[in-house]
Structure 1
Amino acid sequence: MTREEARARLDALWKRGIEFLGCRVAIMGGAMSWVSERHLVAAISNAGGFGVIACGSMTPALLDAEIAGTRALTGRPFGVNLITMHPELDALIDVCLDHRVGHIVLAGGIPPGPAIRRIKDGGAKVVCFAPALALARKLVRSGADALVIEGAEAGGHIGPVSLTVLAQEILPHLRDVPVFVAGGLGRGEAILAYLEMGAAGCQLGTRFVCATESIAHPRFKQAFIRAAARDAVPTVQLDPAFPVIPVRALVNEGTKRFVAHQEAVIRRFRAGEISRDEAQLDIEHFWAGALRRAVIEGDVEHGSLMAGQSVGMVTREQPTAEIIAELVDQAVAALMARAAPAALSAAAE
């Protein structure tokens, strides 16, 4: 198999994803708060992938400016990730529709039916996260145009199941809409394997944190470059009576302080000094602003270093286009290497 034949085979494997996203390679950028802003999003789209703005807690006015800023940097398609629990979700959807954003990703919970209908009525595609096959089918019935299945290997807020298991559970049984895989992906060979299982494309976040175009603080990037896969771990929950939403991040002083903070708050609750609700709120507020402190201000000791386990494959700062080309080259090389023994066997016969 020649390189051209291998590339054609790869293009055929993720053709559905390419056609859905309207890009050259079916690689979506993961929406990372403070990182996935106009510069990185535009760079991913300009390199042939599909950048996605992380709206996070932005107001409608801020999102409006961010979409306009991204449009000024790229003429290629990109999407916007909205958090379903945002109090101004409808207004944020309207901002996206006013800008004719073609794809809106709904994250952070089960998307409300009215929100899905609002997006579709406005002419945009809806992408949802599916943590299990039953919910995946329900989301499709509700109108989702595509799904992302994200494994626990991912950075930030995570579910309990690995991508390896989710892919086996969902990909063979759901063909109605394109399904993109995410979580722990760092090389093209792995992307290829999931495409051959039926995925339409993939989503990567951690690999793009150290892109040259990423505005992440140099100290934040260095933390990623130095880290190994085992350094990215979920937050610890000390007492099931006070649930902690699992977030995968690099261990630092802030992580250790969070454990001590939980102990102190739970001790105060048991002593009758504060109510259960006050204790829960105190625990949840510990990380408020911590991601911005790390990404923007460079406080890598006390801020939140959200990272997926693929962080061990981040070894240097690279232009976004180089990262995407590297992933494609690895997938193409894997296809060529697989075909070589078959060609030799055929020649021997």
Structure 2
Amino acid sequence: MTEARETLDRLWKPGCEFLGSEVAILGGAMSWVSERNLVSAISNAGGFGVIACGAMEPERLEEEIVATQALTKRPFGVNLITMHPKLDQLVDVCLAHNVSHIVLAGGVPTSAIIKKVRDGGARAIGFAPALALAKRLVKMGIEALVIEGSEAGGHVGPVSLTVLAQEILPHVKGIPVFVAGGLGRGDAVVSYLEQGAVGAQLGTVFAASQESIAHENFKKAFLRANARDAVTSVQLDERFPVIPVRGLSNEGSRRFLKLQAEMVQKYQEGELSKEDAQLSIEHFWAGALRRAVIDGDVENGSVMAGQSVGMVKEVRPVADIMETLVQQAVEVIAKRDHRVKDLG
């Protein structure tokens, strides 16, 4: 097993060196979930925690960064949504508090904001759902990429990680690329490391950990769920676009379908303008994630989860989860080496 662990360490060494962590596993930034407690637990367990800024105001983000730094002396990052109206100020807050890595998500960052992050002494990480964007971001100065497949929880793109990895990993050179989406075991991570990735981002498995502040009902919903229960939000009419979000099917998602049907009908009958109908559809999920995560209303709230939710069988400490992921990775490498020797 010693040789297998050494192989694993070689495979993700570039990822560990880039993050400053012992293992190249990032915690996915999940709104309401990826806060001081979970982020510090992931970093303290040897991984790399990431604060989900979401819609936070600069003062609120500052408070969260300071609180996280009080809980861990290890590196962690902050995930910023590029469409946030106060993005510049949020970057300033991160730089003022010596946050080592800033993840620019939820859209394509500008060259100026990437330069600001780098000039301020932080590392800039971006998301690439396609090869063309990956190459564009590299030219713009991004220092690392996360490629996230549609199996992930929350807001997702249309392409699976299996396909994205084949499309992107052989063609992006010179910067670290981390994989994400549907990952729940260490042996799966190894398969992508061997394709050229330097590490992985996992969210769902950590959302149901002991250190996660998510409501007990939220975690129980994860334990009950199978992969097929984590579905993307359905768009009924192309005239009224719906941003695809993956979460557990519940009463809320069923009511969302009914609402869309009602709005389409009212628009067609001239009772509502197109703008008002679209607004009603968009407002349906306002506050829904908080209702599920914090209040525990898992029937009407948005229970964002990736398809790896079916592998979450118990609520465990983050350190145990991390240890299991590493053990699974080492075991699959050892088994492969053993098979190769037998064939030889």
- Both structures adopt the same fold (TM-score exceeding 0.5): yes
Counterpart residue number, 1:315: 313
Inter-partner Cα distance in structure 2 for 1:175 and 1:114:
23
1:212 maps to which of 203, 206, 210:
210
Inter-partner Cα distance in structure 2 for 1:254 and 1:341:
49
Structure 1 position 116, deviation (Å): 1.0
Correspondences of 1:62-77 after superposition (within 5 Å): 62-77=60-75
Counterpart residue number, 2:273: 275
Q: SS in structure 2 opposite 1:287?
A: coil
Aligned-residue sequence identity (percent) comes to: 65
Inter-partner Cα distance in structure 2 for 1:342 and 1:195:
18
Structure 1 position 270, deviation (Å): 1.5
Correspondences of 1:82-101 after superposition (within 5 Å): 82-101=80-99
Deviation track 1:314-342 (CA, whole Å, cap 9, x = no partner) reads 00000000001100000100111111233
Inter-partner Cα distance in structure 2 for 1:160 and 1:202:
19
- Judge which range, 45-54 or 170-179, deviates more: 170-179
Count of residues in Structure 1 that have an aligned counterpart in Structure 2 = 344
Q: SS in structure 1 opposite 2:147?
A: strand
Q: SS in structure 2 opposite 1:79?
A: strand
Inter-partner Cα distance in structure 1 for 2:194 and 2:165:
11
Inter-partner Cα distance in structure 1 for 2:115 and 2:75:
22
- Give me the TM-score of the superposition, normalised by structure 1: 0.97
Counterpart residue number, 2:235: 237
Structure 1 position 173, deviation (Å): 0.9
Structure 1 position 344, deviation (Å): 4.1
Counterpart residue number, 2:330: 332
1:110 maps to which of 108, 111, 117:
108
2:246 maps to which of 238, 245, 248:
248
Q: SS in structure 2 opposite 1:173?
A: coil
Structure 1 position 162, deviation (Å): 0.2
Structure 1 position 275, deviation (Å): 1.6
CA RMSD across the alignment: 0.8
Counterpart residue number, 2:43: 45
Structure 1 position 197, deviation (Å): 0.1
- Give me the TM-score of the superposition, normalised by structure 2: 0.99
Structure 1 position 273, deviation (Å): 2.1
Q: Which residue type is aligned with residue 128 of structure 2?
A: A
Correspondences of 1:25-64 after superposition (within 5 Å): 25-64=23-62
2:201 maps to which of 200, 203, 207:
203
2:122 maps to which of 89, 112, 124:
124
Q: SS in structure 1 opposite 2:278?
A: helix
Show structure 1 runs of 5+ residues with no match: none
Correspondences of 1:133-152 after superposition (within 5 Å): 133-152=131-150
Structure 1 position 345, deviation (Å): 5.2
Q: Which residue type is aligned with residue 283 of structure 1?
A: I
Structure 1 position 343, deviation (Å): 3.4
Show structure 2 runs of 5+ residues with no match: none
Structure 1 position 215, deviation (Å): 0.3
